[in-house]
Structure 1
Amino acid sequence: MTTFTIGSTYHGFLLQKKEAIPEIHSTAFLFTHTVLGCQALAIKNQDINKTFCVSFMTVPEDSTGVAHILEHSVLMGSQKYPVKDVFGEIHKGGLMTFLNAMTGSDTTWYPFATRNLKEYFNIMDVYCDVVFNPLLLRSTFEQEGWHYHLEKNEDQLQYMGVVFNEMKGAYSDPIRALFHNIYQGLMPESTYAHESGGNPRCIPDLTYEQFVAFHRSHYHPSNCTLFFYGDAPLEEELAFVQQRFLAQFTEPVPKAGIKEGVETTAPRFITDTYPVQPGSPTEQRSFLAISSTVGTVHDRKRNAAFQIIANILFNSDGSPLKKAIINASLCKDFGGVFLANTAHKTFMVTYLIGTDPEKRDHFLALYKATLTRMVEQQLDRDLVLSELNKHEFTVREEMNKAQRGLDLINKALPALKYEMSPFAALRMEELLAEIRKEATENGYFEQLIRTFLLDNPATVTVTLAPDPEKMAENVRQEQQQLETFALSLTKESRLQLVQRTKELMALQATPTSLEDLHRLPRLSLDDLDRQPPFHAVLPSSLGTETELLINDLDTNGICYLDFGLDCSSLPVHLLPYLDLFATILTEIGTAKKDYMQFAKAINLCTGDFSHSFQVYVRADDQTRVRPILWLHMKALSGYLAQALDLLTEVLTSVDFSDIHHIEEIVQREFAWAEHAAQSEGYSLAATRTFSHLSRAGQYHEYVQGMHAYLHLKQLAGNYPAQETALYDALGQIRDLLFRRQGLIVAITAEDRDIRNFQELGLSVVQGLPDLPLQPVHPRFAQPPASQAFKTSAEVVFNVQACTLFPDIRQYNGSFEVLRTWLSRDYLWNTVRQMGGAYGCFIRFNHLTGNFGMVSYRDPQVKKTYEAYEALPTVVNELKSIPTELLQQLIIGAYGSATPHQGPAAQGAAARNDYLSGITPVFRQQRIEEMIQTSAQDLQAFAPLFNQLQTTRYRSTIGNGEKIEHDKDLFSEITEL
């Protein structure tokens, strides 16, 4: 084993510094390449989840999205691997626990993680080749970026491209517009005033030549940073990248640098609009924000302090600022965030959601007055301590993340790209102790608030108002651009455009040759562990009756607690209130504590108090359905007793008497639900579609789906008339759920903390009334089979589902192999690459046999449904699937079935398995069936997909014009 010495060179890399960092259980090494000048940071420890990343400074000079399009495009083939979709191919058949590429405001990075050492070096080879030696074909630019699309001479010309449609979806989100205006206001004429992801109005300005030139100027090794994490041999990693890639470059080039722009020296005011549905109301749908520059990424201590200050001011219900803004009836919700790593400058953002433009001056005056009062009277000590505790808990819990390497890389990357010490970025304990001392003894937070939020001229205020005509105006401008181009075409050039479109479609439909596919480094079936470990809960009891599910795992001293309340006794009219009930329950307070005191108490002794809803179907009896509302609490072992006392207080004396705050919660929840429905509504469409298929699906529809959304919309819009019904529902749900019968408890923790919980947790159970559970059988209304919902989004989300296995005994592990092919091959190629959608994924429940497909940020409606309904034919053709491809699909399915999880996720998965009757034996059987899968096994599933055409359960949500164009596909169309 190599002993690394500072000042020595290893395979072209000079070791500048190494340091043991106990708080992350790692030793970090910083190298500089002696010829090219690029840096490499290695974080070495015993983590088997090895992580590699290569990143580049990619500094935009406009908003054409060139860095984003390039991120997509380099993954579409390289000199060594001339495969038309390298990313898709390696994703199809690997064990990677993480595989992605991301574009930030000034950086593009390519990380992956795997537990398999052979695969680690395989993918490292692929990733380095695609970034340093990509093919960058014109057809790739057209597919991933944009092109003029004209399939027939008589068709209407349109723009098409994956990134173009992705960013159309992104620009449907007003929050994105709000923050883009903040960037432009605080950093005018800088790198960060541009949209690195690409503005859909600007993307068609990008030429192929500019695209290629950007790679040439930004993807040289001198402009990159390398990261290695985990237990792989460091000397082998350095030798690998040097010998295979860096050695071919003999001269350094200047590194890309950011443009600082003009300093903001006086307050600025910006007004902008965002699109909403034509004819829809505009009252209380505006956004207001005030943002102030705090410093730069170099101000490490100040930035860490402002992360905590942001929680004090915005995220805690104990915040006087939050209370003042909400009580003044200025908005439906109030919040804020401190942005420390998105640009060279750092800044604080305070925003209002669901407001009106004319309230701006009142908001600004109240903001200043309240902050001034908080500073002059000093921050509430308990509030400060609670947020310090919560922040330190968050830092502690980071050690439990499954993708720990990726998290540490994200911490170190800003330091390296802005020429700071990555070692300091990886250490937090000493800095947090210093901040705690100064905040509690020297008024440190108050000083920062006064200097950077009250007396700071570098401030921008943004007003973003809804515009019912903007959507039509955007369409008109795009059509005008296209018509202008179309008029410039001669008859011959128009026919050439049709021919080019057909050529591109033919290229997209042509599979990569087996010869080229064989060039990709692969694992074989022999590399798989035929008997992977599966964690299972240990069933026990809390007292004599309450079921306790134990997960004895290494959690770094954190206890993860789940208290499950059986919802079988809730009648159908109460179900749409359930999610709102749980939200109110975790915030409203008790007979002893109002909501502000309760918020401080929660953060003092826990890391979180939240809820979720799940419906369990038994593997041995699909007719048995168990809906459970989970209350989740996590706490350090030293605070376990206090956390359980607080939970007991909630369950025995929750107080719904604060009618004003409950109305605030209702309006806030609807504001965010409406925002999600308008910009990213695919989950509502999916839940609505799956509600046709099972009782579990009906429960989800009524609690979390479109039915619940429309119920919340009515409640928020007619609150005075609905208030009595809400309070009656809250009381009824409390009385029906808070009882010992039907309660189930789960804990994920270390052995000593589990034993402690078994003594302390009994008091929680004993605080509940010992009443019998009385299940009811709700009668759910059935929605239309095919339905569309029109929103202000510029794209759509298409969902189609069916009961694929009416007899669940037909399901076996081979279907997981087919599922891998469907999602990573067929749908990826057909809906994404050929159709232009940003993505398409599958939802499948192997206990109910229910199967569905969901397209994401899709420009198509009819074409996507045609792709869905072609499944019987395309699956039948798998009888001739090449053996090599089948083996890769098996490996990909195996990887999905054996995920890498942190202790919290591992415990939750084991809990869910137990409640569904899934055992390690069951999972092992599926693994064996996967590995033994044949082409005939895949083909045998083909007839089952006829159900898609027989039932046609489908939902589309999104752009109204696209829906109207294909309105014959739906029996009902509704405006949201």
Structure 2
Amino acid sequence: MSTHDAFELVRDEHIAEVNSQAKLYRHKKTGAEVLSLVNDDENKVFGITFKTPPEDSTGIAHILEHSVLCGSRKYPVKKPFVELIKGSLNTFLNAMTFPDKTAYPVASQNLQDFYNLVDVYLDAVFFPLISEDTFRQEGWHYELEDAAAPLVYKGVVFNEMKGVFSSPDSVMRDISQRSLYPDITYGKSSGGDPKAIPDLSYQQFKRFHEKFYHPSNARAFFSGDDDAGERLSILDAYFSEFDRAPVDAEVQLQPRFNQPRNIVATYAGTKEDGKARDGMVSVNWMIDPPADKTESLSHGLLSYMLAGNPAAPLRKALTDSGLGEGITGGGIGSGLRQPMASFGMKGIDAADAGKVEALILSTLEQIATDGIDKQTVEAALNTFEFSLRENNTGSFPRGMSMMFSALGTWLHGGDPLAPLAFESALTTLKEKAASGHFESEIRRLFLDNMHRTTVTLSADDKQGARDVAAEEARLAKVRARLDVEAIKAVIADTEKLKALQEAVDDPAQLAKIPTLGLADLERTIRTVPIDIGALAGTKLFYHDLPTLGILYLDLGFDLHVLDKGLLPYLPLFGRALMQTGTSKEDFVSLTQRIGRSTGGIAQHRGLSARQNDSGSAAWFFLSGKAVPDKVEEMLAIMGDVLLDARLDNRERFKQMALEEKAGFEARLVPSGNSIVDTRLKSGLTEASWIAEQMGGISYLNFVRDLVKRIDSDWDSVQAALKRIRDTLFNRGRAVVNATADASIWGRAQGEVASFLERLPSGNLALADWSVDFKPRSEGLIIPAQVNYVGKGANLKALGFDLTAASSVAIKFLNTTYLWDKVRVQGGAYGGSSRFDLTSGNFSFLSYRDPNLLKTLDAYDGASKALNAGIGDNDLTRSIIGVIGDMDGYEFPDAKGYSSMWRQLTGTTEALRQQRRDEVLNTSVADFKALAEAVDAVRDKGHVVVLGGEAAITGANGKRPGLLEVTKVL
């Protein structure tokens, strides 16, 4: 049977909106469905997805997602997934568990690499080894090393989910979803509740794979410029090994409530003296499945109009109420068969939850009755249309975005092509908008919808201790049932698992994992066209690239003109420019104007060490994008934002400060490793010190104090904001970066020049940013059951002058020693090292880590792994992986911005080529050089830990004086 004969062609049509020929196939033998998109995207994408609805909250689907990538029939090694991370040119490589599905997507620009990834993934999902030891490692197990020691739980997913449930926002999302769908699979925690994960048996785990990981339950997807026939050949080679099987994986519909429900719960948090605002509230609705693309697009538009930006009426009403510090929820999601909608607030007094609920409902009623402002509707429609046509998915492969769009209907028996075509739906919505469509939808979806829950959470400073005590009591009961022989068996199982984790894979088996060779790699760097000149006395970078008729413009202003004491104001100053309005229009009108006329205007900051310089590149950017006919208006808006923002708007500024505070506090657990990294390096270099002032724990403390100063000393706060504007926005120390094809830039150049001439000019002196750097070892306490453990130093300051080849040694270190010691054996969700060649900063980091001292010991032993040497295959794989990182896929706007940033940091093309050559020529000597540097970090580095009080104080008890302790939350 030929490959094409194995599949039945169900649909074949061109979808202009995504420039693809779409073919939908059904595998005749198994019933597996395949959506194949042929287009000119060099970033090729494959994904295979299974419907995996869980029946409980043991995390069975999540644990299986981890486990199938730990060895398969064709590739019987411990971690083929990690080998691919180490030695692939992939632009995406991961797996994801959702409430009703598990997806395995990959992407690569290199054809052979792409085929390699597809083959490893297909073998992994259909023929995994999934031994009981893998289940114990990735899911959960009892660990006991000594008969006198307490029994403990270990497992990667177990600790990952402890980290998830340490985040109040995650707790709110989990309870809200479960509250709406109590009778179906969406009422379970698909990721796994740590309290339920130990209820899962290996036998259940195996049966789950046998039931759901079958071609009859599969949705396979391809997109890109690879051969369409070869796609089918690859799939049939696997599918044909199976017979058709009935798979009951349908997500049932949740019966509707007759009346709304209220849920009151707590999260493990800290109660501050005199602070009542430790609560959160979310008002949630279950929505009927959208009938078509028009309705699903309508959901997105309505959510955006109500709460998608600070000027949206529902979001503004909540913010203006003063009832809380920040917004939760964002409208109607698209990930569930029956979508979920949520709006709410965090940082409230839990006693005010009823007031927030009432405000949400009354505001929706008012909007439905009085109508949505026409300017708001016009701005939302333009914003969505621009986004749909631009189809810019950033670092996320475009094909993957299309895959998940298709799965929204495809998974539940709908048309997978319908979500990809938007022209008709957009036209219909434009017509409906003028006749009260969205107002009617507010009434139908929310006001008349009794399937609603209101979830109120408040902090409980004793809940963390209760949870720990409950887990210990559960383990004690298990321990009490074990006789001497059973205890010996648990110790033996612990030793066996550790031995397996430490065992080295057979080199012959490792060699089976497909990889490219060094000869397959490009020897020269990829360059971006750039013309460097001047425009109206301002330095100009121009990139002639195809941009689908859009001009991308970045205006950059050198932060070095500001006094260093002003730097912590920058994040809120940037928000104030966009969200306070101007002397001519309030911020609602300004936001509408941006939406009507542009593809978006945004402010952000760029920060990096400079090449061969102890200083930093530190810039404030205002970036915009527009079609040629709207460039003049975009520039007019930019001018108003830069020079005429209402920096005297005290109440609005306080609202933003409270949102900033609440947002940062919410990020402490989900982004703990980044916060530790920022803090760890803040005493090492100028750029890192600035990063801490504008985005680390120091910034959080600044914002907390600023909230009080806005009330007690607004004049000084306002003066600081105005001083920033008056000093910073000067074209004498500015740059302009334009990315567009020549015809567009030819039309826009004069308009940009006229705009620049309106900016103040002058030669400003650079401020003194000298800082007495003093790295410290710190323990930062938050209410969490996991830790984020960092250790680092500046290698240049320690006398090391490493080359770019060190990145290959670090790739190897991260994917072997640290993966094994910190994640596999330690049970953390992640462990890694980072090294910035420009600054010399080096750090070890762990993520959602149950350990502290054990992880530090692992860091201190890292040099042994580097000194042990590396085989030729591992060296080749690691080089390939680093080249893949260097050659990441970028859309034209990102290419233009990256090219500009290289100019601002002094990164010449010659230096880029030198570093590529160093990577390609990496040798064992480079591993030895990094090993010596890592030993210096062991001896002279400092430690920063973000985690629970018991872990941090316990570590100080065992190693007195290790950490200077500070309570963060």
Of 886, 909, 926 in structure 1, the residue corresponding to residue 915 of structure 2 is 926
Are the structure 2 counterparts of residues 837 and 11 from structure 1 closer, same or farther at C-alpha, using a change threshold of 3 Å?
A: farther
Q: Is residue 530–residue 928 contact of structure 1 (8 Å, CA) maintained in 2?
A: yes
Say if 2:49 is the partner of 1:58. no
The residue matched to 1:374 in structure 2 has which SS?
Answer: helix
Q: Is residue 802–residue 930 contact of structure 2 (8 Å, CA) maintained in 1?
A: no
Structure 1 partner of 2:502: 509
Say if 2:353 is the partner of 1:391. no
The residue matched to 2:240 in structure 1 has which SS?
Answer: helix
Say if 2:351 is the partner of 1:358. yes
Are the structure 2 counterparts of residues 654 and 615 from structure 1 closer, same or farther at C-alpha, using a change threshold of 3 Å?
A: same
| TM-score, normalisation: structure 1 | 0.96
Structure 1 partner of 2:531: 538
Structure 1 partner of 2:901: 912
For residues 799 and 405 of structure 2, the distance between their equivalents in structure 1, rounded to whole angstroms, comes to 46
Aligned-pair CA distance for 1:658 = 1.9
Structure 1 partner of 2:863: 872
For residues 369 and 341 of structure 1, the distance between their equivalents in structure 2, rounded to whole angstroms, comes to 25
Q: 2:25 is matched by which residue type in structure 1?
A: F
Instruction: Map 1:513-592 onto structure 2 (within 5 A).
Output: 513-535=506-528, 537-543=530-536, 545-592=537-584
Structure 1 partner of 2:967: 975
Instruction: Map 1:534-933 onto structure 2 (within 5 A).
Output: 534-535=527-528, 537-543=530-536, 545-619=537-611, 621-717=612-708, 719-780=710-771, 782=773, 785-806=776-797, 810-878=801-869, 881-933=870-922
Are the structure 2 counterparts of residues 362 and 340 from structure 1 closer, same or farther at C-alpha, using a change threshold of 3 Å?
A: closer
Are the structure 2 counterparts of residues 281 and 957 from structure 1 closer, same or farther at C-alpha, using a change threshold of 3 Å?
A: farther
Structure 2 partner of 1:495: 488
Q: Is residue 307–residue 313 contact of structure 2 (8 Å, CA) maintained in 1?
A: no
Structure 1 residue ranges without an equivalent (≥5): 1-7
Q: Deviations over 1:655-682 (max 9, x none)?
A: 2222111111111111111111255333
Aligned-pair CA distance for 1:782 = 4.6
Q: Is residue 339–residue 346 contact of structure 1 (8 Å, CA) maintained in 2?
A: yes
Aligned-pair CA distance for 1:279 = 5.8
The residue matched to 2:282 in structure 1 has which SS?
Answer: strand
For residues 748 and 820 of structure 2, the distance between their equivalents in structure 1, rounded to whole angstroms, comes to 51
Q: Deviations over 1:400-435 (max 9, x none)?
A: 645111111011112211111111111012211210
For residues 287 and 130 of structure 1, the distance between their equivalents in structure 2, rounded to whole angstroms, comes to 41
Instruction: Map 1:184-583 onto structure 2 (within 5 A).
Output: 184-242=178-236, 244-277=237-270, 283-399=276-392, 401=394, 403-439=397-433, 441-535=434-528, 537-543=530-536, 545-583=537-575
Aligned-pair CA distance for 1:320 = 3.0
Aligned-pair CA distance for 1:789 = 0.5
Aligned-pair CA distance for 1:903 = 1.8
Aligned-pair CA distance for 1:281 = 5.9
* Aligned residue-pair number: 963
Are the structure 2 counterparts of residues 45 and 363 from structure 1 closer, same or farther at C-alpha, using a change threshold of 3 Å?
A: same
Aligned-pair CA distance for 1:9 = 8.1
Aligned-pair CA distance for 1:737 = 0.6
Q: Deviations over 1:771-814 (max 9, x none)?
A: 32111213436555100111012211111121123499933232
For residues 58 and 854 of structure 2, the distance between their equivalents in structure 1, rounded to whole angstroms, comes to 28
Are the structure 2 counterparts of residues 175 and 219 from structure 1 closer, same or farther at C-alpha, using a change threshold of 3 Å?
A: same
For residues 708 and 216 of structure 2, the distance between their equivalents in structure 1, rounded to whole angstroms, comes to 57
Aligned-pair CA distance for 1:840 = 2.1
Q: Is residue 536–residue 920 contact of structure 1 (8 Å, CA) maintained in 2?
A: no
Are the structure 2 counterparts of residues 536 and 708 from structure 1 closer, same or farther at C-alpha, using a change threshold of 3 Å?
A: farther
The residue matched to 2:820 in structure 1 has which SS?
Answer: helix
For residues 171 and 238 of structure 1, the distance between their equivalents in structure 2, rounded to whole angstroms, comes to 42
Are the structure 2 counterparts of residues 267 and 112 from structure 1 closer, same or farther at C-alpha, using a change threshold of 3 Å?
A: same
The residue matched to 1:946 in structure 2 has which SS?
Answer: helix
Are the structure 2 counterparts of residues 335 and 861 from structure 1 closer, same or farther at C-alpha, using a change threshold of 3 Å?
A: closer
Of 154, 164, 169 in structure 1, the residue corresponding to residue 158 of structure 2 is 164
For residues 573 and 783 of structure 1, the distance between their equivalents in structure 2, rounded to whole angstroms, comes to 18
Aligned-pair CA distance for 1:626 = 3.2
Q: Is residue 567–residue 628 contact of structure 1 (8 Å, CA) maintained in 2?
A: yes
Q: Is residue 295–residue 347 contact of structure 1 (8 Å, CA) maintained in 2?
A: no
Structure 2 partner of 1:964: 953
Q: 2:600 is matched by which residue type in structure 1?
A: D
Q: 1:955 is matched by which residue type in structure 2?
A: V
For residues 417 and 296 of structure 1, the distance between their equivalents in structure 2, rounded to whole angstroms, comes to 13
For residues 247 and 540 of structure 2, the distance between their equivalents in structure 1, rounded to whole angstroms, comes to 61
Greater Cα offset, 25-34 or 320-329: 320-329
Q: Is residue 290–residue 462 contact of structure 1 (8 Å, CA) maintained in 2?
A: yes
Say if 2:40 is the partner of 1:49. no
Are the structure 2 counterparts of residues 331 and 471 from structure 1 closer, same or farther at C-alpha, using a change threshold of 3 Å?
A: same
Q: Is residue 680–residue 775 contact of structure 2 (8 Å, CA) maintained in 1?
A: no
Aligned-pair CA distance for 1:283 = 1.4
For residues 256 and 201 of structure 1, the distance between their equivalents in structure 2, rounded to whole angstroms, comes to 25
The residue matched to 1:966 in structure 2 has which SS?
Answer: helix
Greater Cα offset, 626-635 or 705-714: 626-635
For residues 450 and 940 of structure 1, the distance between their equivalents in structure 2, rounded to whole angstroms, comes to 67
Instruction: Map 1:76-91 onto structure 2 (within 5 A).
Output: 76-91=70-85
Aligned-pair CA distance for 1:730 = 0.7
Say if 2:91 is the partner of 1:97. yes
Aligned-pair CA distance for 1:362 = 2.1
Aligned-pair CA distance for 1:154 = 2.4
Q: 1:174 is matched by which residue type in structure 2?
A: P
Q: 2:147 is matched by which residue type in structure 1?
A: N
Are the structure 2 counterparts of residues 563 and 843 from structure 1 closer, same or farther at C-alpha, using a change threshold of 3 Å?
A: farther
Aligned-pair CA distance for 1:334 = 2.9
For residues 623 and 399 of structure 1, the distance between their equivalents in structure 2, rounded to whole angstroms, comes to 36
Q: Is residue 661–residue 703 contact of structure 2 (8 Å, CA) maintained in 1?
A: yes
For residues 69 and 628 of structure 1, the distance between their equivalents in structure 2, rounded to whole angstroms, comes to 43
Q: Is residue 280–residue 468 contact of structure 1 (8 Å, CA) maintained in 2?
A: no
Aligned-pair CA distance for 1:222 = 0.4
Q: 2:460 is matched by which residue type in structure 1?
A: D
Aligned-pair CA distance for 1:722 = 4.2
Structure 2 partner of 1:4: none
Q: 1:65 is matched by which residue type in structure 2?
A: G
Are the structure 2 counterparts of residues 609 and 285 from structure 1 closer, same or farther at C-alpha, using a change threshold of 3 Å?
A: farther
The residue matched to 1:52 in structure 2 has which SS?
Answer: strand
For residues 752 and 864 of structure 1, the distance between their equivalents in structure 2, rounded to whole angstroms, comes to 56
Q: Is residue 814–residue 937 contact of structure 1 (8 Å, CA) maintained in 2?
A: yes
CA-atom RMSD, angstroms? Answer: 1.9
For residues 371 and 781 of structure 1, the distance between their equivalents in structure 2, rounded to whole angstroms, comes to 54
Q: 2:112 is matched by which residue type in structure 1?
A: K
Aligned-pair CA distance for 1:303 = 2.4
For residues 926 and 626 of structure 1, the distance between their equivalents in structure 2, rounded to whole angstroms, comes to 20
Are the structure 2 counterparts of residues 299 and 28 from structure 1 closer, same or farther at C-alpha, using a change threshold of 3 Å?
A: closer
For residues 59 and 487 of structure 1, the distance between their equivalents in structure 2, rounded to whole angstroms, comes to 35
The residue matched to 2:347 in structure 1 has which SS?
Answer: strand
Q: 1:918 is matched by which residue type in structure 2?
A: T
Q: Is residue 813–residue 926 contact of structure 1 (8 Å, CA) maintained in 2?
A: yes
Q: 1:542 is matched by which residue type in structure 2?
A: L
The residue matched to 2:561 in structure 1 has which SS?
Answer: coil
